[in-house]
Every structure is written in structure tokens, then in C-alpha cells.
Amino acid sequence: MKLATLALAALALAANADAQTKLKVGLMLPATGTYAALGTAIDNGFKLYITEQGGKLAGREIEYVRVDDESDPAKATDNVNKLIKRDNVDVIVGTVHSGVAMAMAKAAKDSGTLLIVPNAGADAVTGPMCAPNIFRSSFSNWQPGYAMGEVVAKKGHKKVVTITWKYAAGDESVRGFKEAFEKGGGTVVKELNLPFPNVEFQALLTEIAATKPDAVYTFFAGGGAVKFVKDYAAAGLKKNIPLYGAGFITDGTLEAQGADAAGLFTTLHYADSLNTPRDNAFRLSYAKTYKLQPDVYAVQGYDAAQILAIGLAAVKGDVSKKAEFAAAVEKAKIDSPRGPFTLSKSHNPVQDFYLREVSGKENKLVGVASKALADPGKGCRM
């Protein structure tokens, strides 16, 4: 009896030791709604990198805790606090929606929990909300907008209408576009928007037709991007008024948009035809694992895991060493499928932005729209 008791106690101790070595990763991503497919791609990309490392980072097995954030800022604080306070996660990875990410950044800053943002571009995350424990593997909303503003100005367009959802991502993307476009001699004659996630575009499309601009700049993503591109073409605008956008308008959406997306120009930090050894290997691995083609969201998830791996390797898996973790990531050149990038002082990627054109079911590379573009990180005190 005593031997059996001792054996059970030994098993319990072993199990407890295993639990202590596991790294708890809280994945707070959309699993339902407009952005569900984006959340899945990020999740897939993140797990792919972990799998390539044998399921461990710095010797620690990964345990996932998932929360569907529903892209709802009203639920964001409760959701992130479940991960921090109830589940005691070591690191949080999320999310897509900028409004939700802002609540996550506040909670991470207040608690000191490591946060890696694999999509949401809210400028403030690496601006006024910046912190040594907050990192982004994606972009700031300002970046793709600014890159496209440069492109549209160089193409000689003078009068542009912008259209987006009325929320942080849309507002900031338009702000970046406007800054570069006006610097290049153009004028934004009208800024149109509608509440997120409303997709009733008809009245605004009629307004665009009446305004007769030289071009239109847009920011939409997910299901809203699909409907906007189809509605724009159906309204007859595509033939006469060129449509340009931040790359999310056509990333992960081309299958559903079909011929209506053909010829659209977008700017983003990734393209389907980079044709580098690093990207080709990633695309093949992703396709084999998930029977899907990767997109920018998958890349951002993959690189979020890379950032975590770099930091953990430096601290030998001890996430309490926040300063050493940050120092290692700040020095690193991240070997991304998008091309190598570094992080700015505010922990936002400094990266190339590509000009892409839709051809068939691909966002084909045209060239580099903006080289090593760094977000200004306004308001960051770190």
C-alpha cells in the first residue's frame, strides 16, 4: 500500500513538474464573425512555427488557452482579464480588431504580462500605449496607408475620396494615406465612412460617383472587404475610378471576390509572389499542414511565434525576465517570410511595403512601394 502511495505521489510530482515547465500562451483571436478567417490564419501560422521547433520554445512545451474575442471591444477587458487573472497565462497573443487590441494593451501594460499583437494595427499600441512587454509582429495602421499615399501621388492622381469603417483601423489608415498623398501634391476631397461592421455601401458608392474623384482609397478587411469590392464593381465604378487600398482589401479574400478584384493595386508588407527561398519554404510547409494557401495573417501569426522564441531563448524560458526578453527582441533581425525585419524602439516592425496587383487568385508583387518604412511611434515614452 505504501509503495502504491509513494508511486502515486511520484507521479503527481512528475505531473506537477511538467505543468511548471509548460508555457501558457493565451490566444485571444476572433473565432466568429467578420474576422473569423483572419483569426484562424493567425492561429495556424503561430502553431506552424511552434511545430517546426518540435512543439517547444526554450525547452518549454506550449499549452494553449483560447478565447474568442468576437471582435467586440465591449467584451475585450473581461476577455483579456480571464486569460491574465483566471488562466494565469505567461504570454498573450492577439488580436485582429484595433479596438479590442487597445483594451488588451492596457491590461498587458497594467499587469506586466507579455503581449504580442499579430495583426491589429492601432497606432497607439506602439505609440502612447507602448511598453517594454508589448510587441507587434504586423504593422501600424499608418504604415500601409502611408505607402499607398506615396504610390497614388506618384501615379499623378490629384483628387481622391477615401472610404472605410469608422473605427481606429480605418481612421488611422486614412490618416497615413492622406499624410503621404498630400505631401506628394494630392488632395483628399472627401472622407467617407460607416460604422463597423456595417456593409451597406450603396449610398456611399452613389456619393463617390457624384464626386467623380481621380481615384478612391479604401481600408476594409475580411467579409466587409469581399462585399465592398463586389459592390464597387457592380456599381460600375471600377471602370472609371481606380480603386486602391491597404492590402487587407484583397488579402485572404480573393477567392470570394473573384473577377471583381482583378487589377486592384494594394500596398502591404507581404505578397503572394515574393519567390524567396524563405517564403517558398514557409508557403509549402503551411499548405502541406493546413491544405490552405497562407496569407499575410498567417505570416503575422508565424512571426509572433518567432518573436516569442527569440525572447525566450535569451532568458532561457524565464518570462519574468522582461527587460532581457525585450533587449534580445530589440536587437534581433527577424527572418520572416515577408523578408527580414527589425523592431523599432516602440516595438513596431520596420519593414518593406510592397505594391501588389491582383492577378487571378494572387496578390502579385509589382515592386517595393516603401523601403524599410518605420512608424513614427508618436507618443511612445519608453
pLDDT tops 80 at residue 1:
no
CATH number corresponding to 7-139+274-347 = 3.40.50.2300
- What CATH class is the domain 142-268? alpha beta
Of 370, 323, 379, 325, nearest in space to 349 by CA: 370
What's the average model confidence in pLDDT over 1-25? 56
Q: Where are the domains of the chain?
A: 7-139+274-347, 142-268
Specify the DSSP element, H or E, that contains 366: strand 362-373
In the predicted model, is pLDDT for residue 369 greater than 60? yes
7-139+274-347 and 142-268 in the same fold: yes
Residues above pLDDT 90, as percent of the chain = 93
The mean pLDDT value of the chain amounts to 94
pLDDT bucket at 18, cuts 50 / 70 / 90: very low
> What is the C-alpha to C-alpha distance for residues 194 and 262, in angstroms, rounded to an integer?
25
Tens of pLDDT, residue by residue over 148-184, are 999 999 999 999 999 999 998 999 999 999 999 999 9
The reported pTM is: 0.91
**Over the stretch 27-52, which tens digit does the pLDDT of each residue have?**
999 999 989 999 999 999 999 999 99
Outline where 112-157 has alpha helix (H). Answer: 142-154
